[in-house]
């Protein structure tokens, strides 16, 4: 079945049907879930971790292939990202800067998040310091907490995986508040910083100075990046 946003949910009920759906998994469709219908009409996930890795690998490989043939607009965007990255952390090597910028482009597309927002989040979170660690234990570029990184199945110490986890978690936070179109981004940022539970508890951006300042800083940089 296909949702209005173009993502596919693959449903099957026996091995024969699943085999016939392999073409769907490799056709470039955005597959958000693969589930099996069992007796009684209930739906269960099947090898969720393994299937997620397979689908994620296929998606990422497709995107990386596309990135090898970057459009002029992509090149302009990457140029802006790299200048921003160098501004915040001039100690990075050219190779590190390129790896960060290309990973942001790839995983932002994968998770349907504006890459400029990801750039802004990472800039405020860590100043693009690859080995950044907070007093609370948050790790890497996107300052992922160990338990969050574990749930996302990423190694936060590796550039590409940290960015994959960052964009994935940011998309998760945005999904919680998508019914409020004009508030989705600031509420998602507040959730990224203080946790979704805190935002839900207060019915909006929590009254914490750190979180309120965080949202303002990210939104300000995001607006500047959008104006370029």
**Closest Cα partner for 35 from 47, 22, 53?**
47
Give yes or no: residues 132 and 182 share one domain. yes
Domain tally for the chain?
2
Give yes or no: residues 110 and 160 share one domain. yes
**8 A C-beta contact, residue 130 and residue 141:** yes
Least trusted range by pLDDT, from 59-63, 67-71, 163-167, 198-202: 59-63
| Residue 104, burial from CB neighbour count under 10 angstroms (0-12, 13-18, 19+) | buried
> Is 1 among the domain residues?
no
> Is 18 among the domain residues?
yes
Look at the pTM and tell me if it is higher than 0.75: no
Reported as a single tens digit per residue, the pLDDT across 32-43 is 444 443 333 333
Check residue 180 and give its pLDDT.
86
Q: What is the distance in angstroms between the CA of the first residue and the CA of the last residue of the chain?
A: 39
Catalytic residue among 82, 125, 160, 175: 125
The highest-confidence range among 37-41, 146-150, 179-183, by mean pLDDT, is 146-150
Residue 125 annotated as catalytic: yes
Reported as a single tens digit per residue, the pLDDT across 82-138 is 999 999 999 999 999 999 999 999 999 999 999 999 999 999 999 999 999 999 999
Enclosing domain of residue 30: 7-65
Mean pLDDT of 45-57: 39
Check residue 143 and give its pLDDT.
98
Give yes or no: residues 12 and 105 share one domain. no
Sole residue written with tokens 């998309």? 171
**Closest Cα partner for 107 from 173, 59, 52?**
59
Give yes or no: residues 75 and 58 share one domain. no
Give yes or no: residues 133 and 197 share one domain. yes
Give yes or no: residues 76 and 152 share one domain. yes
Give yes or no: residues 51 and 143 share one domain. no
122's CB contacts (< 8 A; 6+ apart) are 100, 104, 128, 141, 142, 163, 166
Mean pLDDT, all residues of the chain: 78
> Encoding tokens for residue 82?
């790299």
Check residue 70 and give its pLDDT.
62
């Amino acid at each position: 079945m296909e949702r209005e946003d173009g993502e596919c949910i693959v449903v099957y009920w026996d091995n024969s049907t699943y085999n016939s759906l392999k073409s769907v998994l490799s056709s470039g469709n955005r597959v958000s879930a693969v589930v099996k219908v069992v007796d009684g009409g209930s739906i269960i996930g099947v090898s969720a971790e393994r299937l997620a890795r397979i689908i994620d690998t296929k998606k990422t490989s497709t995107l990386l292939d596309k990135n090898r043939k970057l459009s002029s607009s992509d090149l302009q965007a990457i140029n802006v990202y790299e200048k921003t990255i160098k501004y915040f952390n001039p100690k990075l090597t050219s190779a590190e800067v390129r790896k960060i910028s290309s990973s942001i482009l790839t995983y932002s597309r994968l998770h349907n998040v504006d890459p400029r927002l990801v750039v802004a989040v990472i800039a405020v979170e860590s100043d693009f310091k690859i080995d950044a660690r907070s007093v609370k234990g948050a790790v890497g570029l996107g300052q992922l907490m160990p338990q969050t990184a574990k749930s996302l199945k990423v190694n936060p110490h590796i550039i590409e995986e940290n960015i994959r986890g960052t964009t994935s978690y940011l998309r998760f936070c945005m999904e919680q508040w998508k019914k409020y179109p004009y508030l989705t981004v600031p509420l998602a940022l507040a959730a990224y910083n203080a946790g979704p539970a805190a935002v839900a508890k207060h019915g909006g951006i929590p009254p914490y100075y750190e979180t309120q300042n965080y949202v303002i800083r990210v939104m300000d940089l995001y607006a500047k990046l959008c104006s370029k």
